[in-house]
Structure 1
């Protein structure tokens, strides 16, 4: 009796929350930075004389190295230990944020954004791996994954508002400089709260990682510079050829090589492969939408950075509510039904906007966008939890790296495709209709993939092994 009284539950619960906050702080910081920079784009363009293609590079430069090096980040976490890699990644992110905040030109800013992506690629898979090992009980771990995803989603949601306030009060450079105190806190909390986890030595295939970087670099150049140089110009055609050839080379190397980038067991199940495509499509839609609306509000509707951030609040509240309510929906309906039903409903909303946008007043458009964002936000944590549940603890680092790499590639392609639409179509009504037609197809494909391929009821790969 007395022993029970001497061991209160509160400190343990408080420590769990501190551990969760510590492991989320890096990615929360990165996601705020990703979405906050969207409302700063017009000010960056004006201050540094950056054209439209340059603005796309400011957004996608970060995403490029983030996506291309996430698998390397997962391998480094296994090889050197997730804790040390997590702290190193945060340090790189802080240094590059300082460089972004002091950049004298658009070229320097893009270069610093590439470095930011490298830092994020190091700490992202490490954070999920540390989270997996921090909570032994499976039910607690699933709950923590849900809360972690909700925190990340909420940070994405508040990014435009935070960015708008910072740009309005302190200028666009503050969007990057705000990372410095947050990152220092994250490094310190990790040192004192997070124990080191066992290392799992495995070869680091530098050639395969190099091919991955080359693929995404060439693809980014093709998509971003195509409207600028012309689709049949030598540089753009060369980028397309490099993308195709290096992709074929990487696939062949992964199929036949002794040390693939990802454990082959991960893709022996159709469910995990399908969830990676789903992650691509979700980020394709949501980040493409945020980029599009940020410029729409400022270029078409005449809003400044703060006004744009405020006008995006309903959409972002929808994302936050969706993320926070995801665990409840998943517990009641199951993760499979949540992903299926909510992605189908999001596709339906996107279709309604596509067909009626020309006659739709802005308040109604905002309502539709908010509902669509809420629906997708409910499905994303279910997707993340499903992926980690399928992979099991043995493959947690690699699974997290694979899923988030594909999600970031989706964000990269989504922003680049919106850039193509903005560059080639000059009527905003046509731009919006075309964009939402693409979102309709993307979210519809998610529903099909969930219905046809995703099955989280099978034993995870750890058990199967």
Structure 2
């Protein structure tokens, strides 16, 4: 997409405005976790409702990433970012005023959809507004650290707001933040680029149907809500939707996923690793917060404090990557997966008790998550075919958000009767699979120098989402 830069050198207020978008998207994915028990007590509901409050945000966040890039190309990144920010603000008001659980889930669906259009546009604006590759790389680094702070510190901030005020204040906080971003970018304009670029409405609809059906089946399985016959039929339906999605997209004139990506095994392995990483990292943070607030019967603030070791370690991992060199990526991925494996193992050995062993587990899992958040994204974009890097970014980031959806629908619904054994046994396997996928013996094609990654002027769908939300 061809954007008209607002300034020759990106102004600090503009960088703050787009970083705000990244902060909000990540913050609303994690801050609400510690407040969910309070929400259920006030509005009524069950553990199933709890999971839909969370997945109601993550499913549309995952579903519309491809479409957001297309609209950014057609209408310009600034315009789409404004629209999405207004929609995010309006849906946040709806969440804050919700009088029942179904209404809150509906508002969360709207909020997640708005977030899906905000996130890619933030990177597109940075790419368009800062022509110097070195300054642009630093700006993207700041953007990534802001997102890392939001996802890591969300439980603590959300817990404090819920304890001192109410869970509704988490959503009211979005209003002045959105207003500040809109105020800064109000005069910025962008020139649409590829206005002929399209996306199949049928493919988009099937993707949305696939995500909802997977989440529904997994949540229903976790709570024993389906008989064996209905469970088999439900999975058959999911398989048929997935097959229809693949066939429809591959036959489309402009497919969401080009044929080059289906044939690139290195990229496909990294895409799979990204989905599993998001499952492990977000799933672990979710389990820690639910354990603290539900099993330990802690208030929201106390729950946020209990998971603070994980949050701070996550932020430290994010900052470590920011200060590292591009050539260290594979070593960072190896170190991150091994660290995450050991952290999950310590969490299992803690038996779900508040102890030094569990604190060590939290720290190791959090630090591993921070290390892997942007490193896997950067490595995936490094091996992706350059001519379809935009679609590659959309596919990779969609897979990551899908990992979050599955985490909420599965380990988010497991009880704590046996401590943290079932949840973190799955996470242990997940980190081991990531290591196997990334370091599978095979030829890895390099399409661009490591040192220049992230410095090219890419359209919104091409921008690599470096945070872990």
Instruction: Give the TM-score normalised by structure 1.
Output: 0.88
Equivalent in the alignment of 1:436: 424
Tell me the residue number matched to 2:437.
Answer: 449
In the superposition, relative to structure 1, how do residues 252 and 409 fare at CA in structure 2: closer, same or farther (>3 Å)?
Answer: same
Q: Distance in 2 between matches of 1:171 and 1:230?
A: 32
Contact map agreement 2:32 2:158 (CA 8 A) in 1: yes
The answer to whether the 8 A contact 1:146-1:326 is kept is no
- 2:163 is aligned with 1:189: no
Structure 1 residue 197 displacement after superposition: 5.7
**Does the aligned pair in 1 maintain the 2:384–2:447 contact within 8 Å?**
no
Q: State whether residues 279 and 407 of structure 1, in contact with CA within 8 Å, keep that contact through their aligned partners in structure 2.
A: yes
Equivalent-residue separation in structure 1 for 2:80 and 2:229 (angstroms) = 40
Q: Deviations for 1:134-181, whole angstroms, at most 9, x for unmatched residues?
A: 333444433433332222111111101110111012111111111111
Give me the whole-angstrom Cα distance separating, in 1, the residues matched to 2:65 and 2:103.
23
Provide the residue aligned with 1:274 in structure 2.
Answer: 269
- CA–CA distance in structure 2, aligned partners of residues 86 and 199 of structure 1: 17
| 225-234 vs 89-98, greater mean Cα deviation | 225-234
State the distance in 2 between where 1:186 and 1:227 align.
40
Q: Distance in 2 between matches of 1:168 and 1:139?
A: 43
Alignment partner of 1:427: what SS? coil
In 1, the alpha carbon distance for the partners of 2:41 and 2:101 equals 11
Q: Is the 8 A contact 1:100 1:173 kept in 2?
A: yes
Q: Choose which of 350, 359, 364 in structure 2 pairs with 1:357.
A: 350
> What's the CA shift for 1:191?
2.8
- SS state of the match for residue 430, structure 2? helix
Q: 1:5 aligns to what?
A: none
Q: 1:416 maps to what in 2?
A: 409
1:20-39 equivalent positions in 2, closer than 5 A: 20-39=15-34
The residue matched to 1:334 in structure 2 has which SS?
A: helix
Distance 1:308 1:69 in 2: 32
Give the match for residue 177 of structure 1. Answer: 172
| Compared CA separation, residues 327 and 116, structure 1 to 2 (3 A) | same
| Closer, same or farther: CA 21–386 of 1 in aligned 2, 3 Å | farther
State whether structure 2 residue 417 is matched by structure 1 residue 427.
Answer: yes
Distance 1:21 1:455, change over 3 A: farther
- Please say if residues 25 and 119 of structure 2, whose CA atoms lie closer than 8 Å, have aligned partners that are also in contact: no
Q: Which residue in 1 is equivalent to 2:374?
A: 381
Contact 2:285 2:310 in 1 (8 A): no
Q: Is the 1:314–1:370 contact (alpha carbons within 8 Å) kept by the matching residues of 2?
A: yes
In the alignment, is the contact (CA less than 8 A) between 2:260 and 2:385 conserved in 1? no
Give the direction of change, closer, same or farther, for the CA distance of 1:304–1:427 in structure 2 (3 Å limit). Answer: same
Long gaps (5+) in structure 1 = 1-10
Tell me by how many angstroms 1:42 deviates.
0.9
Report SS of the residue matched to 2:351.
helix
Deviates more, 1:265-274 or 1:145-154: 265-274
Q: Counterpart of 1:127?
A: 122
Q: CA deviation at 1:322?
A: 0.8
Match of 1:406 among 399, 403, 408: 399
The answer for the alignment partner of 1:7 in structure 2 is none
Distance 2:251 2:199 in 1: 16
Question: What does the per-residue CA deviation read over 1:31-70, in whole Å, with 9 as the maximum and x for residues that have no partner?
Answer: 1111110011111010001210000000011111111122
Residue 448 of structure 2: aligned partner = 459
Q: Report the counterpart of residue 201 of structure 1 in structure 2.
A: 196
**Stretch moving more, 28-37 or 444-453:** 444-453
Q: In 2, Cα distance between the equivalents of 1:347 and 1:23? A: 34
CA contact (8 A) 2:72 2:80 kept: yes
> Aligned in 2, Cα 1:202/1:372: closer, same or farther, shift over 3 Å?
same
| Structure with more of its chain in helix, by fraction | 1
Select between 270-279 and 208-217 the one with higher mean Cα deviation.
270-279
Q: Which moved more, 1:128-137 or 1:73-82?
A: 128-137
Does residue 348 of structure 1 match 2:342? yes
Cα distance in 2 between the residues matched to 1:164 and 1:227: 27
* 8 Å contact from structure 2 (residues 210, 238) kept in 1: yes
Change (3 A) 1:289 1:220: same
Change in Cα spacing, 1:215 to 1:89, as seen in structure 2 (3 Å) is same
How large is the RMSD of aligned CA atoms in angstroms? 2.7
- 1:279–1:406 CA contact under 8 A, matched in 2: yes
User: Which 5+ residue runs of structure 2 have no aligned equivalent?
Assistant: 1-6, 458-469
